[in-house]
Amino acid sequence: MKIFLQLCIPFMKRAFFIILSVLIMASCRQEPVTLCVLETTDLHGEVGAPMSKVAEYIRVAYKEYGDNLILLDGGDNFQGSPEVFYSNYVDTLNPHIYRQIFNMLPYSAIAVGNHDFEVGRKVYERVYGKIKVPVLCANIVYTKSKKPCFQPYAIIRKKGYKIAILGLVTPYALNWLPANLRKGMSFVSIDESAEKWVDHIQKRERPDLIIGLFHTGNGKTNIDSASWEAENIPGIDLICCGHIHNANLEQIIDRGGDTTKIINAGSKAEYIAKAIVSITPVDGAAPKIDISTELIKTDTLSRRNREYDEMIIPFMEKAKAYYDVPVCEFDTTIYSKDALKGPCGWTDFLHKSYKKITRTMGYTGSREVGVTIVAPSSEAVLHKGQLTIRDFIMLYPHEDKLSIVEMTGLEIKDYLEYVYSRPTDNPNMPIYEFDSASGVDYSVDTTQSYGNRVTIYSMYSGNKFYPDRRYLVAMNSFRAAGGGGHLGYGLGWNPEKIKARILNESSRSIRAMMMDIYSSEPIDVTPEATWKFEQQPE
């Protein structure tokens, strides 16, 4: 009997602790709880005053909600400003500035963004490998093993309730990345991954709340969007998304009749997205979830965070000393927003720069590139006078290279039809999606139907334009890889066809090559007026 009791004691202890744990959890879950979920996303290198105000708002929220605060970030942080460029590539011996930010603020989880990969593994591992919080992405997998390259989801507990946070990124990032940056990695569609992992989480974790932290936009027409996932993948209570830089709130009824709230904080710390989640226990059933959402515009906040400023100011001073180095002189002032109205100094500057770069790549004489396609990277101004490294980083905030793509005349025409099918008077249309072409003489009549808006008269040189002839076209590597959907939606090209049509790519970034060129020769922004609007947008 004594031996029997000795054998039973370990099992009795285990059973006791299991019962005790269940009782503790049950007692904790008897009370309703209110959680505050805050989201930042697509910061794109913003580290200055807007982020200081965000930090102060988070401090006040933490003071109010304490451990019931859940702070999330939706990715795309390592490109877009001179400061983050400096931290990425110049100040490499010190901790990355976003490592410092993510460790200072009480983040619960961070998602991977497509642009985070474009800076290269050395850069993003300096952040991801050194922060205290989980970095989430379920649909980037190792090509051979098919296992996720990052942690697919995180589990956190608040007042006895179990909360799952699932991370996903737009799968188009596979097409937009150069092969050397995605070596050994594959991307799985969001709908397939969401269905798989939500089912896995529900069965294995049995959470009280599921939050989707998706680096993707929200729009019902796109299968790989937050709205589509909310409608077609039951079980997600709240989705925090981004990617499209358009701050908004949405409410979706899923197939089972349940409601999913969506919040999107936009970009560059212009907004903070907020969700107040009330969880109320229900006897014998899943708890009742109520969610209210709002957007807080950062420039309406008056206070900065002192601790954040103390951390960031020395870094900003070092970065400024680097990016204020002069590169060349500029004899005029140009505005990127003028690109929406027709030919302008900004786009002509880019067209001429692309042509110069192609010549350094060996495309001269009979191999000369006939057409260039450009778009402004952001809304910005280049002022008359001295241009510095900062100006060129603002001109090209991303690490785009120059690609040479083979296109027929008809494909060039169809590409432009897609461009000018987008309303230029839409305030939410990203300026970086509005392309123009140089090398061909054409006009645009937006009053005509799709397919009949663009008329190409000739090559700009005066030579005849042939719809069936193949031309060499220069465009940035993001667009050439399918970014923005111009080749996919506009021409119907699949990833295999896109890859087959890319003939060459510069070894260095467009920005670096432009700085090399203009450090030794003047800039010419005289408009060539290779196209015009027949009906000028207001």
- Binned at pLDDT 50, 70 and 90, residue 264 comes out as very high
Which pLDDT does position 180 carry in this prediction? 67
Reply yes or no on whether the pLDDT at 478 is more than 50: yes
Q: What is the mean pLDDT of residues 409-430?
A: 84
Q: What is the pLDDT of residue 22?
A: 47
Q: Are residues 190 and 146 in the same domain?
A: yes
Which of 290, 316, 342 is the C-terminal boundary of a domain?
316
Statement: residue 75 has pLDDT above 90? yes
Of residues 430 and 452, which shows the higher confidence score?
Answer: 452
Final residue of a domain: which of 316, 343, 362? 316
pLDDT at 523: 87
4 domain-assigned:
no
Per the domain annotation, does 396 fall within a domain?
Answer: yes
Work out how many domains the chain is built from and give that number. Answer: 2
Q: Is the C-alpha dihedral spanning 212, 215, 217, 219 positive or negative?
A: negative
Residue 538 belongs to a domain: no
> Is residue 55 included in any domain, yes or no?
yes
Strand ordering across the sheet containing 209-215? 153-158, 161-169, 209-215, 238-241, 259-264, 248-253
Per-residue pLDDT at 430: 77
Residue 204 tokens, joined: 């294995």
Mean pLDDT score of the chain, rounded to an integer? 89
Mean pLDDT of 73-97: 95
Asked if 474 and 342 sit in the same domain, the reply is yes
Last residue of a domain, one of 292, 316, 340: 316
The residue range of the domain holding 60 is 37-316
Cα 195 to Cα 261: distance, rounded to the nearest angstrom:
18
Q: Are residues 412 and 278 in the same domain?
A: no
Q: Based on the domain organization, do 446 and 488 belong to the same domain?
A: yes
Residue 15 inside a domain? The answer is no
- State pTM to two decimals: 0.85
Going from the C-alpha of 14 to that of each of 20, 160, 181, 205, the distances in angstroms are: 10, 21, 49, 21
| Residue of higher predicted confidence among 293 and 245 | 293
CA distance 97 to 127: 8
Same domain as 300, residue 403: no
Is the model's pLDDT at 220 over the cut of 70?
A: no
CATH of the domain at 220: 3.60.21.10
- Write the CATH number for 505: 3.90.780.10
Pairing label, strands 248-253, 185-187: unpaired
In 333-382, where do the E strands start and end? Answer: 334-335, 371-374, 381-382
Element at 526 (helix H, strand E): none
Residue showing tokens 């461009």: 419
Residue 28 lies in a domain: no
Same domain, 412 and 445: yes
List beta partners, residue 408: 470
Residue 244 has a pLDDT of: 86
- 273 and 354 in a single domain? The answer is no
The end-to-end CA distance of the chain, in Å, is 95
Cβ(272)–Cβ(300) below 8 Å = no
Q: Same structural domain for residues 213 and 249?
A: yes
pLDDT at 218 (0 to 100): 80
The reply to whether 454 falls in a domain is yes
Which residues, at least 6 apart from 164, have a Cβ–Cβ distance to it below 8 Å? 153, 154, 155, 201, 205, 207, 209, 210, 211
| Helices vs strands, H then E, count in the chain | 16, 26
Q: Please indicate, yes or no, if residue 129 is contained in any of the structural domains.
A: yes
d(CA 502, CA 404): 6
Strand partners of residue 276: 36, 292
Does 27 have pLDDT greater than 50? Answer: no
416 in the same domain as 447: yes
Are both 173 and 146 inside the same structural domain? yes
Q: Alpha-carbon distance 73 to 214, whole Å?
A: 10
Beta strands across the sheet bearing 371-374: 436-438, 371-374, 470-476, 401-408, 502-509
Does residue 106 have a pLDDT over 50?
Answer: yes
Whether residues 134 and 41 share a domain: the answer is yes
**Residues 408 and 303 reside in one and the same domain:** no
